[in-house]
Chains A and B, each alone.
Chain A
Amino acid sequence: MTNYLSLSVKEIHKLLIDKKTVPLDLVKEALEKIENSNLNSFITINESALEEAKSLEGLNIDNPLFGIPVAIKDNISTKNLRTTCASHMLENYVPLYDATVIEKIKEKHMIIIGKTNMDEFAMGSTGETSYFGNTLSPLDNTLVPGGSSSGSAASVAANIVPVALGSDTGGSIRQPSSFCGIVGLKPTYGRVSRYGLIAFASSLDQIGPITRNVYDNALMLNIISGMDEKDQTSSEKEVEDFTKKIGKDIKELKIAVPNFYMGNAINEEVKNSVKNIINLLEQQGVKIDYIDMPYLEYAIPLYQTIALGEASSNLARFDGIKYGYSTEETLDIDTFVKKTRSIGFGNEVKRRIMIGSYVLSGKNADKYYIKALKLRKELTNSFKKVFEKYDLIIGPTNTNVAYKLGVKQDDALKSFYDDLLTIPVNMAGLPAISIPIGYNSEKLPIGMHIIGNYFKEDVIYQLASYIEENRGDAKC
């Protein structure tokens, strides 16, 4: 079996150009790897992938992603290809339409290998809430791969595909990327169309690329970005080439490290690893300041109010009437919907719908939801202030490295704390990346978080790429 898919996109592209391989072989390799994998990282395989690859024969290789196999998180709508959200509710749901990002991927002749496992409706940070069973980490099968984009991260880390799409509502791209030692970016809110992304929390959700290196990540962002008339929250901001600053000098960059990101809640080894990078950058003459940023500490309650409030509404459409699971019993409508939802949704989803309904209910709306919106604005302003003086904010992606499967299953609140450092970014709608910067003493990867100003993904990639190239013996 070939092992081309462990190469970078850039390298595979060169092989295709030089006719050393063809898309069909790449697809065969991916399918074979899935076959031999025990990770449970895919829910559905695209049965027509081989055919699609064959149809590319003889076509002009017109872009860097031509013929590259890609894995898609299973909450992104794919026409004629089952899209389950890892839920019993959508176990047999086959969409009638492609998400805008899927249309864009198809235009570039990338080949969708399959739909990746995830936490049910993207609710979770371990992959364990999936109706189809949890995904295993390719680094150590006793560990969580992180979540909710668990299958996308695991598939990329296991070299099954070089690129995958995930979605990030509170850290669901960055946290699993960090746990699996790979690169995951959450773009600026509005950078990528959400049309076709099955909503968890509409004001926070964003689709983004998961890759093994920074350059590939930027390539992928290039093709999925842009204003979409079907998504009125997508931005008209022009899409530039996100690779353009990669390799440029970083000396002039001004960087802030919020003290909160290096506080007591963060594991010492993680902090040390980040400090090593800070030293590296300072040696290059980069100006780095530790700063105090107000409101960061409210991120989790904010998330529980806003994300779950929106989720309780977004998931109301799953009533068994139009599509998806429905109880086969003949019942009056109220009982029918109750029964359908009781069986169709898993426990974590139900818990979050209940919390979300509660915070929006009657007088609670003022007490929680309206207050949270105000606080969200303050938190956003707090970020804006920092970006008046600095180009980037850095810190760890997570409070710690990947942990054992099962340990957070019994505590509904604990898994939210995984997202302590990632949620603030979604609240403000900013772009941020997680890149691997080294290992802890147990050889588990540590992720660093680089947060940019609105629509400054190119500057994030500039620094990320520098660190990737220069982190030396800490390299994963």
Chain B
Amino acid sequence: MLKPTIGIEVHVELNSKNKVFSNSINSFKEAPNTNISEIDIAYPGTLPTLNKEVLEMALKAALALNCNINKHMHFDRKNYFYPDLPKGYQITQKNTPIGYDGYIEINVQGETKRIEIERVHIEEDTCKSIHYNKETFLNYNRAGVPLIEIVTKPVIKSSEEAVLYIESLREQLLYLNISDVKIEEGSMRCDANVSLSDNDILGTKTEIKNIGSITNVGLSIEYEINRQKDLIENGIKIVEETRKFDDKSRQTILMRTKETGNDYRYFPEPDLAFVDLTDEYINKVKSNLPVLPNTIRQKYIEAGINNHNIKTIISNKDICDFYEIIFDKVAPELAANILTGDIIKELNKNHISIKESKLTGEEFINLIKALENNKISSKQCKDLIPLIMSGEKVEKLISNSSFQLITDKTELSDIIDKVLANNPVSIEDYKAGKDRAVKYLMGQIMKESQGKADPKTVSVELISKLKSL
């Protein structure tokens, strides 16, 4: 039977302050060709210098991906002609990638699987070509933007695994705070190599270049597997070629067939000295790594948070950062429910991130505690959320009479009597042993009290009244 084998190469733009080999600002937002220096446009006589911040970010990635580290590493030149390549070569790492033989763990249908990573290396981005009206314009703001390339071994067995790998990799990098890893915006770029074989020898592979979203990683690989299967089953040989995924037709399309192997004339970059990474330095970086998603996930599972909420929290780093602050200060399950429910709803409504809202950890804790201690009802909690997110204080809000729960028994008794009088059918149901009736009546009482009745007291009072009827 034909089985697919997939290998994935990912390029990630690092968010260092400066470019990898010059002091230019590493930012792509400004007007074209403003964040550039004589080094980025490869003026004659200029030399690269390695940015230490980039080195540390790359090391973080390599360590987080469980790689061995090349302690004596250097850079290499990859030579080819293309208008977007200012020097006529790209500075990259061929022989001594900063990290090698690492892995990342994914969870495939309940089973943990290791996706082995062959290498993590540092390289520079090219400038950006913009084609317009038969002309090509070049924006050198991107020239020299630091990249790391992460290459898996050919160990991925399905499109599902591929998607899980990309999601997990993206999460790790996001939590390292070294990139904004936005695949749609190009700060994370993904190429997949796909081949089929019915034995242990890998079949001829095709490469799908620059897949534009995580969903498309799954779709394009699935399409490619089926395309190759059809060809092979019809006796047609697979040709080594580069393809791209077309969003509209949801097909992979031929870009070019590979000719007799690219000749990049690699050789060691003579303009940069060898870099020696001491054990002391590596250990320092290692010990300062932030807590990574897999560790966080484990902690949440143990705290009894449901899977859906875990996924929601971890996939949004800002939310997770917020949740981490309050995690051990309130009931975590309740807090997770409120955070992933009403809070996110409110954020989405206003199109802001949690950082941009005025919600503080402290007020959130106050809110959850008020709810836990029955100072407010769930309904009131919902009502309070927009207010505290615009900067108001929980204590002040609930001291206001309209938010105070009614705990006074005589006052509650009047409300209960009124509801009972209006719902004779429910009383009959209760007598007939239907538990639903109590819930319904509770609901009616809360409604009658505009959500202010203290549910605990109501519950006790209601049952005793029903029993005495």
Does B332 belong to the interface (CB within 8 Å)? no
Name the A residues within 8 Å of B81 (CB-CB): 316, 319, 334, 337
**Which residue on A lies nearest to B79, using beta carbons?**
A313
What residues of chain B lie closer than 8 Å to A39, measured between beta carbons? none
Contacts of B268 in A (CB 8 A): 373
- A221 touches B (CB below 8 Å): no
Residue of A nearest to B78 (CB): A313
Task: A317 to B81: give the CA distance in the assembly, Å.
Answer: 9
- Any chain B CB within 8 A of the CB of A41? no
Contact with B along A186-219 (1 / 0, CB 8 A): 0000000011111101110000000000000000
Contact B45 A195 (CB under 8 A): yes
Given A96-B38, A316-B81 in contact, is the A194-B267 Cβ separation under 8 Å? Answer: no
Name the contact of B79 in the complex, choosing from A99, A201, A316 (C-beta under 8 A): A316
Contact B43 A96 (CB under 8 A): yes
Chain A residues 262 to 285 lying within 8 A of chain B, measured CB to CB, are none
- Residues of chain B lying within 8 A (CB to CB) of residue A83: 44
Check: B277 CB closer than 8 A to any chain A CB. Answer: no
- Contact check, A317 vs B88: say whether CB atoms are below 8 A apart: yes
Q: Is A53 an interface residue (CB 8 A)?
A: no
How far, in whole Å, are A322 and B138 apart by their CA atoms in the complex?
10
Contacts of A318 on B, CB cut-off 8 Å? 44
Q: How far is the CA of A334 from the CA of B267 in the complex (A)?
A: 24
Chain B, range 25-75, C-beta contacts under 8 Å to A:
38, 41-50
User: Which residues of chain A have C-beta atoms less than 8 A from B87's C-beta?
Assistant: 316-317
| Candidates A198, A201, A360; contact of B265 at CB < 8 Å | A360
Residue of A nearest to B136 (CB): A333
Instruction: Say whether B44 contacts A198, CB under 8 Å.
Output: yes
**Contact indicator A322/B267 (Cβ below 8 Å):** no
Q: Check B271 against A232 for contact (C-beta < 8 Å).
A: yes
Total A residues in contact with B, Cβ cutoff 8 Å: 47
Q: How far is the CA of A365 from the CA of B76 in the complex (A)?
A: 13
Residues of A near B43 (CB, < 8 A) are: 77, 95-97, 322-323
Chief secondary structure at chain B's binding surface: loop
Q: Identify the closest chain A residue to B260 (Cβ).
A: A362
- A window 357-376: CB within 8 A of B: 357, 360-362, 365, 369, 373
Given A233-B273, A310-B270, A321-B138, A199:B263 Cβ within 8 A: no
Q: From A195, A233, A365, give the contact of B46 (CB < 8 A).
A: A195
CA distance A329 to B458 in the complex (A): 89
Are B267 and A313 interface neighbours, CB within 8 A?
yes
A251 on interface, CB distance cutoff 8 Å: no
Instruction: State whether A360 and B79 are in contact (beta carbons under 8 Å apart), knowing that A96-B38, A313-B88 are contacts in the complex.
Output: yes
Given A232-B50, A337-B81, A360-B79; A317-B44 close (CB under 8 Å): yes
Q: How distant is B256 from chain A, measured CB to nearest CB, in Å?
A: 14
Quick check: A233 and B271 within 8 Å, CB to CB?
Answer: yes
The reply to whether the CB of B119 lies closer than 8 angstroms to some CB of chain A is no
Question: 1/0 contact trace for B72-92 toward A, CB 8 Å?
Answer: 000001010101001111000
Nearest chain-A residue to B261 (Cβ)?
A362
Answer whether residue A309 sits at the interface, using C-beta atoms and an 8 A cutoff. Answer: yes
Q: Are A197 and B270 in contact (CB under 8 A)?
A: no
CA distance A448 to B192 in the complex (A): 61
| Residues 370 to 423 of chain A near chain B (Cβ within 8 Å) | 373
A253 and B46 CA atoms in complex are apart in Å by 40
Residue A103 lies at the interface, judged by CB distance under 8 Å to chain B: no
- Contact B45–A365 (Cβ < 8 Å): no
Greatest chain A CB density within 10 A among B49, B261, B270 is at B270
In the complex, which residues 256-291 of chain B have their Cβ closer than 8 Å to any Cβ of chain A?
261, 263, 265-268, 270-273
B214 to chain A, nearest CB (A): 33
Query: Of residues B49, B89, B265, B272, which shows the largest number of chain A Cβ atoms within 10 Å of its Cβ?
Result: B265
Q: Separation in Å of the B132 CB from the closest CB of chain A?
A: 15
Taking a contact as CB atoms under 8 Å apart, the answer to whether A360 and B267 are in contact is yes
Residues of B within 8 A of A360 (CB): 79, 265-267
Tell me which residues across on chain B come within 8 A of A310, comparing CB atoms: 267, 270
Instruction: Report how far A195 CA is from B270 CA in the complex, Å.
Output: 13
Known: A203-B270, A231-B47, A233-B273. A333 touches B83 (CB 8 A): yes
Contact of A232 among B45, B47, B86, B263 (CB under 8 A): B47
Contact, CB under 8 Å: B267 / A369: yes
B265 touching A357 by the CB < 8 A rule?
yes
Known: A97-B43, A197-B45. A365 touches B267 (CB 8 A): yes
Instruction: Judge whether A467 is part of the interface by a CB distance below 8 angstroms.
Output: no
B76 → chain A closest CB, angstroms: 11
Q: Report whether A194 and B89 are in contact in the complex, using a CB–CB cutoff of 8 Å.
A: no
CA distance A75 to B271 in the complex (A): 17
Contacts of B263 in A (CB 8 A): 361-362
Q: Shortest distance in angstroms between A199's beta carbon and chain B's nearest beta carbon?
A: 7
Q: Tell me whether A312 is interfacial, beta carbon within 8 Å.
A: yes
User: For window 110-167 of chain B, which residues contact chain A by CB distance below 8 Å?
Assistant: 136, 138
Interface string of A321-335 (1 = CB under 8 A from B): 111000000000110
A319 touches B47 (CB 8 A): no
Q: Is the CB of B271 within 8 A of A361?
A: no
The yes or no answer to A93 lying at the interface (CB within 8 A) is yes
**Nearest B residue to A231 by beta-carbon distance?**
B47
B201 to chain A, nearest CB (A): 24
Q: Residue A90 at the B interface, CB < 8 A?
A: yes
Question: Do B267 and A309 have beta carbons less than 8 Å apart?
Answer: yes
Name the A residues within 8 Å of B79 (CB-CB).
312-313, 316, 360
How long is the Cα–Cα vector from A360 to B89 in the complex, in angstroms? Answer: 13
A residues 76-103 touching B (CB-CB < 8 Å): 76-77, 83, 85, 90, 93, 95-97, 99
- Write out the residue numbers on chain B whose beta carbons fall within 8 Å of the beta carbon of A316: 79, 81, 87-89
What residues of chain B lie closer than 8 Å to A237, measured between beta carbons?
none
Inter-subunit contact A317/B77 (CB<8 Å)? no
CB distance from B77 to the nearest CB of A (A): 6
16 contacts between A and B (CB under 8 A): A85-B44, A90-B44, A95-B43, A97-B46, A99-B45, A195-B45, A199-B44, A199-B271, A231-B49, A310-B267, A310-B270, A312-B265, A313-B89, A317-B88, A323-B43, A369-B267
Q: For the A-B complex with A310-B267, A321-B138, A361-B265 known, give 19 more contacts whose Cβ atoms are closer than 8 Å.
A: A85-B44, A95-B43, A195-B45, A196-B45, A198-B45, A203-B270, A232-B49, A232-B273, A233-B273, A309-B267, A310-B270, A316-B87, A316-B89, A317-B42, A317-B87, A317-B88, A333-B83, A360-B265, A362-B261
Closest 5 CB pairs of A and B: A316-B88, A203-B270, A360-B265, A202-B270, A77-B45
